Chain A
Amino acid sequence: MAPDSLQFKPRLLSVLDMSSVVLMLVATWMVFFYAPSAQAEAGGETQRIFYFHVSTGWISMAAFVGAAVAGTAYLIRPSQRLDVFSVAAVEIGLVYSFINITTGSIWARPVWNTWWTWDPRLVTATVMELTFLAYLLLRQGIEDPERRARFGAIYAILGSLTVPLTYLSIRIWRTIHPVVIGSGDPTAQGTFDMTAQMLHTLLFSLLAFTIFGLTLLWHRVRLGWMADKVERLRMQAMR
């Protein structure tokens, strides 16, 4: 990226900003007016939260995996930019997975009759969230930027092990969490069959949250690079 791209906001980023707004509005409209309501066992109208729940869940996992991939690349060839990317991905993943857990909890209240239950899926998702919170704490505790980046990369890779564990938890363990995509456990409560409109809505929400996430990622990476630049300039001025 050219050096002046830090001074001026890139055109494409402005386009992404606008598209995120439009896509999110359309996705919200589709969730409420395009998708049919599900059967009562799946929560009826409450089931509409499913589209954002699944989208944010998937993208948070993708973000954590992205952070681990950037971490691996950093260990092979260290670069400040990869480190900035890794942090940005983790922060976005944390926000998304928090939305994921919260929406799930709101849905579970009427359907499972509780806000929270110690089901394998819920536990693994929470562990994933906590692991990457610990990642931020680790970074906070180290002053040397080079060492902070190195340790961050290693912890991101170790932490990314929680991602497949979370993804597979509803597929390998007995759980009450529904598996809508693919075949589910018969003990799951609140499963439903997706109609075509539901699938459209889900895919569109996924697209909207992906574009929104990428926009946030870009902003966050730019912010990180600016912070680096300020740091460098300050060092120069002090010399």
Chain B
Amino acid sequence: MGNLSAYSSVVSGIVRKDLAVEWRSRQLLASMLVFALLVILIFNFALDLDAAARSELSAGVLWATFALAGTLGLSRSMASEKDGGALDGLLLAPVDRSAIYLGKTLANTIFMLIVALFTLPVYGILYNVDLLNGGLLLVIVIGAWGYSAIGTLLAAMAMQARSREVLLPVLLFPLLLPLLIAAVRASGFFLEDLEVVYIWPSLNLLIVYAAVMPALGFMFFDFIVEE
């Protein structure tokens, strides 16, 4: 048990570090939030979201917004790690590297959830849609976790390439598609108040994805950061 508590203290240390850095600068969240709002505005004009279209498209618009704003956060959080030399320091520390991965993933999940927490009421007010739905929130929590799990891994990879911010979405979106499909379907079904029997298949895919991706991250993170 001593090992486990040491491990979790490393993980929580990294989460607290990321949150503290963000609390001081507020750079990352501010740009993510503004960007998310802009995406919603663009969708409004691009899709002509009238009352009838809204109820069907809300799930898709929300997830597209999260996915786009998420890449912003992912590449920023890894880039600041690398530019500030913090990553080298972390790697020198005698801790399990998977703990670093888990910490970064948790921190990114929290950022995603904060963005969702602001986006949902704003979207709800602007478009007069009721988004206070337990199922939807559940899908967002699982989805944000799966998104961050694969995103953190690929961001660590993209940061070491030449065109880093450009490369991340190209690497991320194809692999993200199963998650997005499942999340959009499940959210849509919850918003339409369908019976749980119809929601389970999408929810299953979402849960499997959110379980498999962190496992792969645990296996591969070590290979990605090694020098």
A147, B178: Cβ atoms closer than 8 Å: no
B174–A155 contact, CB under 8 A?
A: no
A127 CB to nearest chain B CB (Å): 5
Closest to B169 in A: A134
Q: Are B167 and A138 in contact (CB under 8 A)?
A: yes
Q: Is A95 an interface residue (CB 8 A)?
A: no
Q: Is the interface of A mostly helix, strand, loop or mixed?
A: helix
Identify A162's interface contact among B157, B171, B174, B223, CB under 8 A. B174
Does B25 count as interface, using CB distance less than 8 angstroms? no
B residues 127-185 with Cβ under 8 Å of A? 150, 157-158, 160-164, 167, 170-171, 174-175, 177-178, 181
Interface status of B220 (Cβ within 8 A of chain A): yes
Chain B residue nearest to A139 (CB atoms) is B161
B216 at the interface (CB under 8 A from A): yes
Interface membership of chain A positions 91-119, coded 1 if the CB is closer than 8 angstroms to chain B and 0 otherwise: 00000000000000000000000000000
Residues of B within 8 A of A158 (CB): 150, 175, 216, 220
Most interface-central of A143, A154, A161 (chain B CB within 10 A): A154
Q: How far is the CA of A162 from the CA of B178 in the complex (A)?
A: 9
Q: Return A152 CB to nearest CB of chain B, in Å.
A: 10
Q: Pick from A143, A151, A153 the residue with the most CB of B within 10 Å.
A: A151
Within the complex, what minimum Cβ distance (angstroms) separates B170 from chain A? 5
In whole angstroms, what is the CA distance A61 to B170 when docked? 21
Known A-B contacts A143-B162, A147-B160; the reply to A155 vs B178 at CB < 8 A is no
Q: Count contacts on A: residues with CB < 8 A to the other chain.
A: 23
A138 touches B175 (CB 8 A): no
State which of B160, B167, B223 has its C-beta within 8 Å of the C-beta of A137: B167
Nearest opposing residue in chain A for B161, CB measure? A141
| B162 adjacent to A134 (CB under 8 Å) | no
B224 within 8 A of A: yes
Known: A142-B161, A150-B223, A151-B224. A137 touches B170 (CB 8 A): yes
The complex places the Cα of A147 from the Cα of B160 at a distance, in Å, of 9
A165 at the interface (CB under 8 A from B): yes
Alpha-carbon gap, A142 to B162, bound state (A): 6
Q: Is the CB of A131 within 8 A of B175?
A: yes
Query: Does A75 interact with chain B (Cβ within 8 Å)?
Result: yes
CA of A159 to CA of B154, assembled, Å = 12
Q: How far apart sit A3 and B160, CA to CA, in the bound complex (Å)?
A: 34
**Structural contact, B223 and A154, CB atoms closer than 8 A:** yes
30 contacts between A and B (CB under 8 A): A75-B223, A123-B177, A123-B181, A127-B174, A134-B170, A134-B174, A137-B170, A138-B161, A138-B171, A141-B162, A141-B163, A141-B164, A142-B161, A151-B157, A151-B160, A151-B161, A151-B224, A153-B223, A154-B157, A154-B220, A154-B223, A155-B157, A155-B171, A157-B216, A158-B175, A158-B216, A159-B174, A159-B175, A162-B174, A162-B175
Apart from A141-B158, A151-B224, A157-B216: 12 A-B pairs, beta carbons within 8 A: A127-B174, A134-B174, A137-B167, A138-B157, A138-B158, A141-B161, A141-B164, A147-B160, A151-B157, A154-B220, A157-B220, A161-B175
